[in-house]
Amino acid sequence: MFVMDSGNHRIRKFQYSPNSCDMSSVIRWTELIKLSKDSQIYSQDCNKESYYFESYEIKVSENRYYTIWSEASIDTYGYIYENVFDPLNPTENLLVKNDDGGLNDQFRFEIPLYDDTLYILVITTFDQMRIGEITLHVSKLENDTIKRLTTSVNIRSIYSSELTVNSPKYCRDYKKPNYYYETLEINVMKNGLYVIWSKSEIDTYGYIYKDIFDPLQPFGNSLTQHSGKCNQHQLKFFIDLEKNTKYILVVTTYYPNTTGNFSVFISGESNATINYFHSKYRSCSVGDRCHFYSTTIGLPLDDILRGEIQPKIALANQSPSIQISSALTVMMFIGGIINSLFSYLTFKNKDTQQVGCGLYLYVSSLTSLLTICMFLINFWFAVFIQINTSTSFAILHVGCIIIEPVLKLLLYCDSWLNASVAIERAVQVLKGAQFNKNKSKRFAQRIIFILPLCIMASLLHEPLHREMSKYETETDRVYLNNTESITKDVFKSEKNKTSIDTIYTSVTNRHVWCVIRYPSSVQTYNIIVLYFHLLIPFVANLFSALYIIIGSARQRSVIQTNQTYKEHVRRQFSEHKQLIISPILLLILSMPRVIISSLPGCIRTSTNLWLYLISYFFSFTPSILIFVIFVIPSDIYMKSFKNSLTVRRARIYK
């Protein structure tokens, strides 16, 4: 076949698809469709009225042209979708639509279909809420399959209730914590597709969860949600449900502080039940502007700052807490770099590495440098990903899995190395002249090798249970035809409910959070690990300091009876002040973390922001004060530091 182009009179050869002219194996498939008041309903363009519809799944066995058409006494309309058809989002995946392609106001498709694609055919009417019989014809091959997807409305369960001022509230949009809600438990007797919808005078918003729903963690276990879009502002779900599974339907409202009656319906092939479900606050949860709660142990920085950071707002215009935290982070980073360099110069000297303490502090000067660098990275990563909401998901995922666990690893290494110094100094006082320096050095080398491996092994569960949680909420509905007040009045009458177009636009807020989901057994293990790394070094510093003062004084008082016990304590403090000051300072710096982590119950991060921030920053002070804690109180270490500086200056000016 040759085709002439009328625009420039060019003649082109028409290329046939393989088997496109082979009609010997083509058969006509016919089915009678009855659109009735029991048919499913949807809105064709989300800005018009409701229409009855039927849908069919088409799977072809061969790439070729197919003809699909209708015959009826009513005006029909046809739509073809690729792979998936969502009645609540009818423009998505739409391939082609046809109104009057056939005779007598009937749709007709002559379209190429491919064997690697699934097609969904939707049959509806041009006029809203029209019922009648439609004969569907498809020219197809023997091996092609056509399967009906929709089922007639067969209400299996109805639940009616009311949202009142006494109903519980929660924050569904991460902005306002004043949405009334009610939770319902849904169980089905058979696996299959079910339709769940509401009828109400108020604009409803729905969420479906699997097994549990925690109002403090509304992003957890969420399967799907619906804002009422394309369904007259009423929640609706077309969802596959499984038997022996508990589903939680959360019925809430589009607008905050809204109350009113509502009814929920379930339609499906088998029996289903709806019962009131009492949702419990299973755990503490992170928070932001909605004042969610937070666990007091192991709280990440991004969870502390989450409600304080305003998306898409420059740092200069952020809240004072963010600006002060930013300045403090930079100052701590600069101080930490100077501290680490000075400490490195001090303990790089071989004279300071004659005993285990020198080796511990040499390695600690290196880990403190890495810790303060990760501290800076963690802070700015937490700030910028919440300011810049378009950050790549891959970057967010890598940061979620790596940054916090690595920071904990370095922080715990610092704590244990400092505790090792305190313990060895106590042993040194205990043994006195019998203290073996070579044995101490060999033991320290083994500890330095084993310690990071043990800490890393104790933290392996963290990256395995960290994941990115995606969550979307629809807010800020704006009516394009200024009929918001009219539309709300229309809801008072079921008869007139669909008589006005409700054309509106809204804002979809996308939330991507790094969340940690531990099974109960792993959660218990995690708490034990956190307290172990927090308390054991704390206790080691405490008892080492006490022993250096009290234990050595008691030993001297037994030998030298001419002095009182208090005089011996003063003398020991004077003689060993460099050994005593270090563990005492570490003890003081560790106190905020221990106190905050020991508080019972849940604490609001929003109302205790500075408490958490101070505790967080304090936890890094041992890493940035190694020089102050260990070098300055010691005459030997200060001498080593000055010698190293002298050597460096000589090399520079040489």
Neighbours of 553 (CB within 10 A): 21
Max mean pLDDT among 57-61, 384-388, 568-572 falls in 57-61
User: Which tokens belong to 326?
Assistant: 């930013």
Tell me the longest C-alpha to C-alpha distance in the chain. 124
DSSP bridge pairs for 179: 170
Q: Which fold has domain 316-465+518-653?
A: Rhopdopsin 7-helix transmembrane proteins (1.20.1070)
For residues 471 and 234, the model is more confident at 234
Rounded CA separation 131/77 (Å): 13
Q: What's the mean pLDDT in 176-189?
A: 90
Is residue 489's pLDDT more than 50?
no
Is residue 343's pLDDT more than 60?
yes
| Residue with token string 């807010």 | 475
Find all residues with CB under 8 Å of 492, minimum gap 6, and list them: 201
For residues 58 and 541, the model is more confident at 58
Is residue 45's pLDDT more than 80?
yes
Q: What's the mean pLDDT in 430-442?
A: 84
Q: Which fold has domain 155-276?
A: Jelly Rolls (2.60.120)
Least Cα distance to 319 among 287, 290, 288 occurs for: 288
For residues 606 and 198, the model is more confident at 198
Collapsed DSSP state (helix, strand, coil) of residue 222: strand
Contact 375, 383 (CB under 8 A): no
Q: What are phi and psi of 507, to 5 degrees?
A: -105, 125
Contact 51, 5 (CB under 8 A): no
Domain boundaries, the chain: 24-148, 155-276, 316-465+518-653
Query: What does the DSSP 8-state code read for residue 628?
Result: I
Architecture of the structural domain at 24-148: Sandwich (2.60)
Residue 255 to residues 121, 475, 610, Cα–Cα distance (Å): 35, 8, 32
Collapsed DSSP state (helix, strand, coil) of residue 96: strand
One fold for both 24-148 and 155-276? yes
- Ranges 119-133, 194-208, 422-436: which has the least confidence: 422-436
For residues 158 and 501, the model is more confident at 158
Contact 406, 363 (CB under 8 A): no
- According to the model, what pLDDT value does residue 363 have? 94
Q: What distance, in Å, lies between the first and last C-alpha atoms of the chain?
A: 91
Rounded CA separation 464/522 (Å): 11
Model pTM greater than 0.85?
Answer: no
At 580, the pLDDT band (50, 70, 90 cuts) reads low
Rounded CA separation 434/131 (Å): 101
Residue 274 to residues 160, 187, 191, 228, 237, Cα–Cα distance (Å): 10, 7, 16, 20, 15
Contact 180, 253 (CB under 8 A): yes
For residues 112 and 623, the model is more confident at 112
- According to the model, what pLDDT value does residue 373 have? 94
**In this predicted model, what pLDDT tens digit does every residue of 509-535 receive, in sequence order?**
666 777 777 787 888 888 888 888 888
Rounded CA separation 414/589 (Å): 13
Q: What's the mean pLDDT in 113-140?
A: 94
For residues 236 and 142, the model is more confident at 236
At 553, the pLDDT band (50, 70, 90 cuts) reads low
Is residue 29's pLDDT more than 70?
yes
Least Cα distance to 511 among 334, 289, 359 occurs for: 289
Instruction: Please write down the long-range contacts of 284-287, taking CB distance under 8 Å and 24 or more positions apart.
Output: 284/216, 284/601, 284/602, 285/214, 285/216, 285/217, 286/513, 286/605, 287/604, 287/605, 287/606
Q: What's the mean pLDDT in 321-334?
A: 92
- According to the model, what pLDDT value does residue 498 have? 35
pLDDT > 70 fraction of the chain, expressed in percent and rounded: 76
Max mean pLDDT among 99-103, 203-207, 297-301, 649-653 falls in 203-207
Collapsed DSSP state (helix, strand, coil) of residue 180: strand
Is residue 262's pLDDT more than 50?
yes
Contact 429, 576 (CB under 8 A): yes
Is residue 184's pLDDT more than 80?
yes
Q: What's the mean pLDDT in 393-413?
A: 90
- According to the model, what pLDDT value does residue 396 have? 87
Find all residues with CB under 8 Å of 512, minimum gap 6, and list them: 393, 396, 468, 469, 470, 471
Q: What's the mean pLDDT in 284-311?
A: 58
Chain-wide mean pLDDT for the chain? Answer: 81
- Ranges 15-29, 249-263, 394-408: which has the least confidence: 15-29
Which H/E stretch holds residue 77?
strand 76-82
- According to the model, what pLDDT value does residue 34 have? 94
Q: What's the mean pLDDT in 536-558?
A: 75
Residue type, 277: F
SS3 content of the chain, % helix, strand, coil (to 5): 40, 25, 35
- Ranges 40-44, 149-153, 235-239, 609-613: which has the least confidence: 609-613
- According to the model, what pLDDT value does residue 496 have? 36
DSSP 374-440: HHHHHHHHHHHHHH-TT--HHHHHHHHHHHHHHHHHHHHHHHHHHHHHHHHHHHHHHHGGG--HHHH
Q: What's the mean pLDDT in 157-165?
A: 95
Q: What are phi and psi of 32, to 5 degrees?
A: -90, 125
At 583, the pLDDT band (50, 70, 90 cuts) reads low
Is residue 573's pLDDT more than 80?
no
User: Which tokens belong to 313?
Assistant: 């707002």
For residues 548 and 379, the model is more confident at 379
Sign of the dihedral defined by the CA atoms of residues 500, 504, 509, 510, in that order:
positive
Contact 633, 627 (CB under 8 A): no
Is residue 138's pLDDT more than 90?
yes
